[in-house]
Amino acid sequence: MNYLLPYALGVVQDIFRAYPQGFPLQLEVGEFVNYAMGQFQKRYRRLELARSQSLKEIEQIALETDEGDA
């Protein structure tokens, strides 16, 4: 999965490149990169955990877990 990380971060960078004079609302690229990294790490952890679980266990966890926390 680590080979996907540069592509995920590239999406953020591409968005900011579309605004060479600066992104609207004075948003910082670092904030977006940090958020993207956090989301990537959460998904990576979830996939790693799922490798040792049955489909039923995965489905139960998905039902119990708030997507914002997972």
| Domain spans in the chain, listed from the N-terminal domain onward | 1-12+29-70
Q: Tens digit of pLDDT for each residue in 45-61?
A: 888 888 888 889 888 88
Note the pLDDT tens digit of each residue in 5-56: 898 888 888 888 888 887 777 888 889 899 999 999 998 888 888 888 888 9
Tokens of 64: 């119990």
Give the 3-state secondary structure of residue 23.
coil
Distance CA 37, CA 46 (A): 14
Cα–Cα distance, 41 to 36 (Å, whole number): 9
